[in-house]
Chain A
Amino acid sequence: MAEVAATVPETPRTRTLVLDVRGWSGHRAGQHLDVRLTSDDGYQAQRSYSIASAPGQPLAITVERLEDGEVSPYLVDVVHDGDAFEVRGPIGGYFVWEPGDERPVLLVGGGSGVVPLMAMARAHNAAGADTRMRLLYSSRTLDDVIYREELGHLDGNGLDIVYTLTRGQPPGWTGYARRIDDDMLREVAWPAGDGPIVFVCGSTHFVDAAADGLVRLGYDPRWVKTERFGATG
């Protein structure tokens, strides 16, 4: 069982839950956990959520509210400190970055797909790793950018961040303002010849577009790691 130790509102649609899990074995950056809720009549609903915290930091997940969802509205709007629910994890070994990996890292996130990438950015920062790491983050608007303040501190401190705002931009915005395409990837991504490793996370459409584009740029498909989010919350 996980007990909610703290909640942190991130954006109007997302909230971070810091969890206290007895016997938690620790995790690697990029892994997720499953949350299982059981109603009074025994009905169970289960969803996967990426871990946002770096290894060694207090365990945290960030959840986006999907309207009509069975689990996410509860986690974003209802639970409070001291509430408990069942979790299983950590899960995953494919979509994982280790601070000892010396290859340049490209992180490509769409919406809440940034969550496991944030765990990697935090792990990179916590380790004082000097490997190059760049984040390309696609968000609807600036207000939808999760971890905006913390990313502002990380940007330039071993991590480069490039935003694209697909649905609305603040006055004076000079960054990208469209969905990720091959031209954008060509401008942002490390040269394929540098042998980078890539982590792409977001909706199926987003992940396919970014991963296919990177392979067209000459990226080795083996090192373009992908994780797709479902539309059920």
Chain B
Amino acid sequence: MDERRLDGNAIGGDLMELFGTEMTVAWAVCRSCGAHEQLAEMRVYRDAPGIVGRCVHCEAVLLRIVHAPGRSYVEFSGVASLEMRVS
């Protein structure tokens, strides 16, 4: 059992800062296996050098976020599409 493994709730604040809106309820399609999940449900490791989010079904990397002083690097290479509610 890996106690370092969290879920997408844990990076809700990071995502909100980057996107300016609540992102844990956004639906992501995994580019690797096609699963359709809310970002809150993905597996998150935040003690890597940066944040790594993985698909809860196939464990492919969905996204990486690295914070550095004054800037953040964001990569969503494993996400085929993102669907979010707009008001």
Q: Which A positions have Cβ atoms within 8 angstroms of B?
A: 32-34, 46, 48, 88-89, 91-95, 203-205, 208, 226-232
Instruction: Output the least CB separation between B35 and chain A (Å).
Output: 12
Given contacts A34-B13, A91-B12, A92-B24, contact A228 B38 (CB under 8 A): no
| Cβ contact within 8 Å between B24 and A93 | yes
A93 vs B26: C-alpha distance when bound (angstroms)? 9
Docked pose: A85 CA to B22 CA in angstroms: 22
B interface: dominant SS: mixed
Q: Contacts of B2 on A, CB cut-off 8 Å?
A: 204
Residue B1 is within 8 A (CB to CB) of chain A in the complex = yes
Total B residues in contact with A, Cβ cutoff 8 Å: 22
Q: What is the chain B residue whose CB lies nearest that of A221?
A: B41
CB A4 to nearest CB in B, in angstroms, measures: 20
Within 8 A of A (CB), among B1-35: 1-10, 12-13, 16-17, 22, 24-25
B10 in contact with A230 (CB, 8 Å): yes
Binding site for A on B (CB under 8 A): 1-10, 12-13, 16-17, 22, 24-25, 38, 40-41, 46-47
- Given A94-B24, A94-B25, are A204 and B6 also a contact pair (CB < 8 Å)? yes
Contact B24 A205 (CB under 8 A): no
Since A91-B24, A92-B40 are in contact, a sample of 5 more A-B pairs with Cβ atoms closer than 8 Å, ordered by chain A residue number, is: A48-B9, A89-B13, A91-B22, A93-B24, A93-B25
CB of A75, distance to nearest CB on chain B (Å): 16
Report the minimal beta-carbon distance from B39 to chain A, rounded to whole angstroms: 8
Q: In the complex, how many angstroms separate the beta carbon of A196 from the nearest chain B beta carbon?
A: 19
Query: Contact between B13 and A228 (Cβ–Cβ < 8 Å)?
Result: no
In contact, A48 and B17 (Cβ under 8 angstroms): no
How distant is A28 from chain B, measured CB to nearest CB, in Å? 10
Chain B residues lying within 8 Å of A34, measured Cβ to Cβ, are 13
- Could you say which of A89, A92, A208 contacts B1, with CB atoms under 8 Å apart? A208
Q: List 22 A-B contacts (CB under 8 A).
A: A32-B9, A34-B13, A46-B13, A48-B10, A48-B12, A88-B16, A89-B13, A91-B12, A91-B22, A93-B22, A94-B24, A94-B38, A94-B40, A95-B9, A205-B1, A226-B41, A227-B40, A228-B6, A228-B9, A228-B10, A230-B6, A232-B47
